[in-house]
Structure 1
Amino acid sequence: MSIETWQLDPTHSSIGFIVRHMVVARVHGRFTRYEGRLFTNGDLVKAQAEVKIDASSIDTQVEARDNHLRSQDFFDVAAFPRVIFHSRRVLPAGGDHYRVVGDLTIKDTTREVVLDAEFLGRVKDPFGTERLAFSARTSIERKDFGLTWNKALETGGVLVGERIDIELDVQVVKAVAVEKVA
């Protein structure tokens, strides 16, 4: 069976995160610009994925916070413009559930992460384009990726939580082979 290439459809996808703020609250954010590809022969256990996120597209709906997150205190987008994920293997986890093991690079640090993923299905849209849909979740410790800025609170605890929950809901569309003309 041949390898199929699927392109991430950013119009019908989301890459978001949740982090604790001042110990008790949760701040939701997302990235608005990213690209990715999935390579598969039809067997998802043998699939490979890569995603490149424009770190400057971070959006928490508060401009001052977003600018701080883009600064050297956090993502340092001037020096490290992308967050990158490359899968290394996919493990079945029962039914349509999988554990996707891969390398996540933030700034100049790469660490292994495991995404708990669910295959949501394969469909053909009204325009004849084949689509696959997935949902995935993971958590990381931000200090593991050099995201160490914080402030202690007078009441105890810190301003920004250490754990970041990452949530992805993505659709990929089957890439159309283009014939080369001599």
Structure 2
Amino acid sequence: MKRFICFLVGLALLSPLTVLASTWQIDPNHTTMQFKVRHLMISNVKGGFDKFSGTLDLDDKDITKSKVEVVIDTASVNTNIKLRDDDLRSPNFFDAARFPTMTFTSTKVEKTGGTGLKITGNLTIKGTTRPVVLTVDGLTPEIRDPWGGLRRGASAVTTIKRHDFGLTWNKTMDNGGAVVGEDVAIQLEVEFVKK
């Protein structure tokens, strides 16, 4: 009997800890994953991805113990120009037939003051994994939507060097400039739904 009481007390002590963790899924209908890169050194071309999924395992007591995982379908790249999108899917860039997904897995979450966060993680593109840092404009408080679900949102940005991930195709112009810029700016507008 004494062991049984100790077991119940142990469960009672653990139960508050389980309440503090929650899992949130990315809502693809209200999320955008976009990029911007220089073209001919004179303008920016923007694009995004239409298919992706991801989860946020949120530690409600200590956000720095939270984890994020995202999977993006590389064939879903969309710049609204079919010829360019086909080239981006080809071995010149994402090689979507060989590398159908790119992934991001967080390794560290830090507070940066106010509601801001810095999320460090491993980004894998075209079979190459490198650490990247997302600057996050805080996770919003949860709200209940008109259908009874719980939702939160966040905005994040980062910049990567495309050559670091094997995206090396380019041509040099007569003036010495490149057709495609090296820096790729990434902007994420994410809406999460609680599982």
Whether these two folds match at TM > 0.5 is yes
**Equivalent residue for 1:152, pick from 158, 172, 175:** 172
Cα deviation, residue 41, structure 1: 2.3
- The answer to whether structure 1 residue 141 and structure 2 residue 167 are counterparts is no
Cα deviation, residue 156, structure 1: 2.3
**Equivalent residue for 1:101, pick from 120, 141, 144:** 120
Q: Distance in 2 between matches of 1:56 and 1:141?
A: 20
Structure 2 regions of 5+ residues with no counterpart? 1-16
- The answer to whether structure 1 residue 162 and structure 2 residue 182 are counterparts is yes
Q: Distance in 2 between matches of 1:47 and 1:171?
A: 16
Corresponding residue number in structure 2 for 1:10 = 28
Q: Distance in 2 between matches of 1:142 and 1:84?
A: 15
Q: Distance in 1 between matches of 2:166 and 2:174?
A: 25
Q: How many residue pairs were aligned?
A: 175
**TM-score under structure 2 normalisation?**
0.88
Percent identity for Structure 1 against Structure 2? 45
Deviation string for 1:13-45 (max 9, x for gaps)?
000000000001000000000000010121322
**TM-score under structure 1 normalisation?**
0.94
Q: Distance in 2 between matches of 1:139 and 1:4?
A: 29
Larger Rg: 2
Structure 1 regions of 5+ residues with no counterpart? 176-182
Deviation string for 1:45-95 (max 9, x for gaps)?
211000000000000111000000000010000000001000011011011
1:172 counterpart SS class: strand
Superposition misfits of 4+ residues, deviation over 4 angstroms: none
RMSD over aligned CA atoms reads 0.8
Corresponding residue number in structure 2 for 1:111 = 130
Partner AA of 1:49 in structure 2: V
